[in-house]
Amino acid sequence: MARAIPMLKYQVRSSTSASRSSLQVPPPPFKIPASPSPSTSSSSIGKSSLSIYDPAYLRDRSTSLSSLSSIDSSDSTSEWGALRVHTGNVKRDTDYKTLKISTHTTVQVVVEQILNKFKLTCRDPNMYQLLMEVRTRRADGQEVRTVLELGKEARPLELQRCHPIHMSRFIFTMSKNGALVRICDHEISPQSNYKSLLVSPNTTCREAIALVLSMNRVSPSDDVDPDGYVLVLEENGAGVEIPTDVSIAHIYTQLQPPQKILIRKI
C-alpha cells in the first residue's frame, strides 16, 4: 500500500488574533517535469485529432506581413536561417510567421517571439506548443505525415535542416489543458482587486508571479525582480507563503472557502 504524502503544515499568527492557527498548503501531486530532450519529441499526435488539417489553415496565399524570404534557411553552412511557423490555430487572420533565428534558438524562445509579435505578452507561454509535421514516403509511394510535439529545449532550425526542403513544417498551437486561477493583487496594485490567469498545469508559482507583474505593466526593464514577490495562501487574515516551485494550478484547485491566493511584495 502506497504511503500517503504528508501535508505541509505551517504555523502562522493571525493579524487579528493573538491565538495561533494552522494553514495547510496542498503538496504538489508530482514534481514539475523537466523539459524533454531537444533531439526527440515528447509525444506523437494522430493526424485525425488535429484541426491543423482543416483547409482553412492550409490556404495557398499567405496573409503574413513578416515574411523574411530573403534569408536562405536551406544553407546549412550558416548559423542563421528562416523558420516559417504556421499560426492559423492561434491567430486566424494570419497563415504563418517567418522568424530569423539561429541554430541555437530553442522552442521556448520561438514561442516567446511569436507571442510578442501577436502582442500576447500577458499569456502563459507554457500554454503554447510548437509542433513539427514530418512527411515521409513508404515503399509503396504513399505519403505518411507524423506530427511531433517539440520540447522547450529543442532547436527547430537544426531539426528543419535534417529533412529535405518542403518535407517538414512547424505549427504553433495552444494547449486545451489549462486552468483558470485568480490571484488577488490589491497589495501591489491598489486600483485592482485580482487578476485571472489561464495557466498550464506545469506553470510554477514564480512564473505566475511574473505574469501578474506583466499584467500590471511591471516589467524587468523597471528593475523589478519576480523573486521580490511571493504568493500567499490567506484565510481569515492569516497567511502562509506558497513555495515558488510548485504548480499554481494544483494549489488553486485545492482551495476551500474562504481561502484565496494573493501576491505580496517581500
Average pLDDT over residues 160-189: 93
For residues 199 and 179, is the Cβ–Cβ distance under 8 A?
yes
* pLDDT for position 73: 41
**C-alpha span between 163 and 111 (Å, rounded):** 22
**C-alpha span between 78 and 85 (Å, rounded):** 20
For residues 206 and 166, is the Cβ–Cβ distance under 8 A?
no
pTM (predicted TM-score)? 0.69
Average pLDDT over residues 163-175: 92
**C-alpha span between 261 and 36 (Å, rounded):** 31
* pLDDT for position 121: 85
Average pLDDT over residues 223-227: 77
Q: Which three cell numbers stand for residue 194?
A: 485580482
**C-alpha span between 102 and 111 (Å, rounded):** 14
**C-alpha span between 54 and 57 (Å, rounded):** 6
pLDDT tens across 89-139, in order? 998 889 999 999 999 999 999 999 999 999 998 999 999 999 999 999 999
* pLDDT for position 18: 39
Q: Concatenate the DSSP letters of all residues of 194-226 into one string.
A: EEEEEE-TT-BHHHHHHHHHHHTT--GGGT--G
**C-alpha span between 81 and 165 (Å, rounded):** 13
pLDDT tens across 30-88, in order? 444 444 444 444 443 333 334 444 444 434 333 443 344 344 444 566 899 999 999 99
Q: Classify domain 80-174 at the CATH topology level.
A: Ubiquitin-like (UB roll) (3.10.20)
CATH of domain 179-265: 3.10.20.90
**Domain segments of the chain as ranges:** 80-174, 179-265
